[in-house]
Chains A and B, each alone.
Chain A
Amino acid sequence: MSAVVAEHDDHHDDHAHGPAKGLLRWVTTTNHKDIGTLYLLFGLAMFFVGGGMAMIIRAELFEPGLQFVQPQFFNSMATMHALVMIFGAVMPAFVGLANWMIPMMIGAPDMALPRMNNMSFWMLVAGVLLLASTLFMEGGGPAGGWTMYPPLILQTGKALPFAVFAVHLLGISSIMGAINIIATIFNMRASGMTLMKMPMFVWTWLITGFLLIAIMPVLAGAVTMLLTDKFFGTSFFDAAGGGDPVLYQHIFWFFGHPEVYVMILPTFGVASTIIPVFARKPLFGYSSMVYATASIAFLSFIVWAHHMFTVGMPVAGELYFMYATMLIAIPTGVKVFNWTATMWKGSMTFETPMLFSIAFVVLFTMGGFTGLMMAVAPSDFQYHDTYFIVAHFHYTLVPASVFILMAAGYYWLPKWTGHMYNEKIGQLHFWLSAISVNILFFPQHFLGLAGMPRRIPDYAVQFADWNMISSIGGFIFGASQLLFLYIVIDTIKGGTGEKVTDEVWEDAHKHGLEWTLPSPPPYHTFTTPPAVIPTEHI
């Protein structure tokens, strides 16, 4: 993208001081690298908490009949698994990457608003703790699904107001994080780092930031109305008073559809960062990638009701939302084409980050295709609320967002720690994950097409075989992730013992400013902005 003349004499004069001593460093830190680390570790921890819930779900579904948990608890697990994975694992992990990488990628000394950066992390922790506390309350955790549709969710016990306030806190955290990222990108770039020279990861996060600021207040409004309907006598979602339960679904999915792109756009950004490095070619179609990302973001605001085809809508609405949804396949197709073209005739090598990225391109495309199937309203009438949708969105989240988070971990861990991870175990982790994730989710397509509803703890015996296979895949996938945990800890403690170079990956310095810095980078980088010299690559 841009070659760089870096003069990182960062340890000069007044900014030489490093991190504070002791545990309090992590509580009061305003350093983008510290906060990035906190976000990433928190995301990793929640990945295992949410994963544990998924294991409970798959264990219960291993065979027909009720074996391990009560139906209410099962539903609560399904709900909490989603909330923890979305708000606790995937989103924070990407915010962690943004914190770590964006200032280094654009040549900034830190994030634009460092104190708010600290607050947005701790608000996240507070929100997740409040949410987790509901599991121990009278009536159990929220069990009406992560979408929290009324009137069902209003039957929740003591957990309801806690879940609502947890959503508020998570929203505040996300909005503060997004404001910070946007201000950083607009205001903190080194001179010469024009918008159209920014790395794709920075671009995707800029657009994701807009999405977050636009949608989190919408979710906050929706859950606030749930709260007043339950406790203050309002009738927003009660037809007896002139309200409409479907209204909640419209508001929720106005948030919900952009929300899934909040999780996938940074994924695209990381993939667009990693694939060129290991194909040893510049990214194919950089500007079309930028425009495609922006188009996807725009379209995400006008397609929400495709989540509600069966709920009852005028037929004109069904048609509009069907066609608008199918439009998304175009910019998404542009992206898949560009990744493939980047690899075309490249001198490819297949280190772990690249393996995860290639698997992402293939398996995300699978998830995209099933998305197209469900975009067709009359077909969706068959798939709605079956395991087909479960298979669809897990393909777009697990072998896409989660795989890319893994790829990002392998790709940047050497930069962050200065140590090389164990490539053999990394590849083992990849192959186990890539195979088991398909054993886990592919059969769920068949289950859905055969009519198995989602969110049930027990099912008809005809679904037994595929469920058992899916559960076996799930257990292998879950266990494989312990390898990742091992690798992260091992790499932080020294990894293979091999000292990594500044650029870590061959010629990586051609692909981003972060590779011109030492590995690990000093506590403060770019206190004087680096010179960015454009090359002919772009």
Chain B
Amino acid sequence: MSTTDAYYIPHKATWPVIGTVGLVTMLAGFANYLNGSSIGPTLMVAGLVIFIIMLTGWFTLQATESESGMYSTQVGISYRMGMMWFIFSEIMFFGVFFGTLYYTRYLSVPWLGGEGTGAATKELLWPTFEATWPTNGPKGLGLDASGARVFGAELEPMGAWGLPFLNTLILLTSGVSVTWAHHGLLAKNRDQLIKGLIATVALGFLFVSFQAYEYHEAYTEMGLTLGSGIYGSTFFMLTGFHGLHVCIGAIILSVVLFRSWKGHFKPENHFAFEAAAWYWHFVDVVWLGLFIFVYLM
């Protein structure tokens, strides 16, 4: 019934409600878990399962519709705009934590150390505190092995030139490989498309593994944790949310890989590939920001 020249308006959507139920169950479960209620984890898992079912079902439906030619160029433009503005909202989300890093590092920590109008603050609160970066604050916050709060802890910052630099190279390479795959798709070279995507997904998961190893080192060897004052807070918040986004991006690319292998996508119709590639480049650029502002500077 639909043709490519009319705008496709779907009817009777069930996945959105199912997804909402899944998400709210998951969040209610997480909140219960944080409050120490025993029902929390069960709810979380149940919500997650519903949410994954929704994602699978909804995206399968979209892929089927797309492959059967139900989406006109105009529909494709709506999807591209949707993805573009979604990525913009993600940029704003990361902006908060970059802003937090900037504000604490260049404004509030120096004020605590007596700079500007902070002389009285320093005198009255922590007269011996010297404002340096990285810092875990005037009280030297940290966590001991059991996860309890300790004061006067030593702080060892994460260096830039080991794993983080390797990870930078990995992500930059993956940006190249996904573009190479895109060229393959445009040139109807399915082999190049699939190889490029396999390389990208592999590099993505390699990045996440290195990141996991780095976190393990930080927690067990260096005593650098979420509880390590403002340095630990900003370090783990920024790299953690980024790592989460790499995981999401790699999963999206895996789905695109699976669809490529099934023979989906044409040079003139491959929104899902484009969206995944845009997302991947976004994750890549955020990492460059992290490498410079969190690790290097």
Contact = CB atoms under 8 A, between A and B. Distances in A.
Contacts of B158: none
B233 A243 contact: yes
B27 A130 contact: yes
B60 to A, nearest CB: 14
B13 A225 contact: no
B226 A113 contact: no
B109 A217 contact: no
B81 A182 contact: yes
B123 to A, nearest CB: 14
A71 interface: no
**What bracket does the count of chain B residues touching chain A fall in?**
35 or more
A30 B13 contact: yes
A175 B27 contact: no
Interface string B128-163: 000000011111010100010100000000000000
A486 interface: no
Interface stretch (A54-62, A118-126, A391-399): A118-126
B39 to A, nearest CB: 13
Given A27-B17, A130-B28, A183-B78, A251 B99 contact: yes
A337 interface: no
B101 to A, nearest CB: 10
A112 B27 contact: no
What secondary structure prevails in chain B residues at the interface with A?
helix
Given A233-B143, A244-B103, A251 B96 contact: yes
A43 B132 CA distance: 50
Interface stretch (A157-165, A287-295, A322-330): A157-165
A188 interface: yes
Interface string B208-236: 00000000000000000111011111101
A302 to B, nearest CB: 14
Contacts of A87: none
Contact of A119 (B10, B19, B104, B125): B19
A233 B17 contact: no
Contacts of A217: 89-90, 92-93, 95-96
A527 interface: yes
Interface in B1-29: 1-2, 6-7, 9-17, 19-21, 23-24, 27-28
A305 interface: no
Nearest to A244: B108
Contact of B93 (A112, A126, A221, A241): A221
Contacts of A30: 9-13
A503 interface: no
22 contacts: A110-B7, A113-B78, A115-B10, A119-B13, A122-B20, A130-B27, A164-B31, A168-B27, A169-B23, A172-B23, A179-B89, A180-B82, A183-B82, A187-B78, A188-B78, A214-B89, A217-B95, A228-B226, A233-B147, A242-B138, A244-B112, A314-B116
Interface of B: 1-2, 6-7, 9-17, 19-21, 23-24, 27-28, 30-31, 34-35, 58, 74, 77-79, 81-82, 85-86, 88-90, 92-93, 95-97, 99-100, 103-104, 108-109, 111-112, 116-117, 125, 135-139, 141, 143, 147, 149, 225-227, 229-234, 236-237
Interface of A: 14, 20, 27-30, 109-110, 112-116, 118-119, 122-123, 125-126, 129-130, 158, 161-162, 164-165, 168-169, 172, 175, 178-180, 182-184, 186-188, 213-218, 220-222, 225, 227-228, 231-236, 238-244, 246-247, 250-251, 314, 524, 527
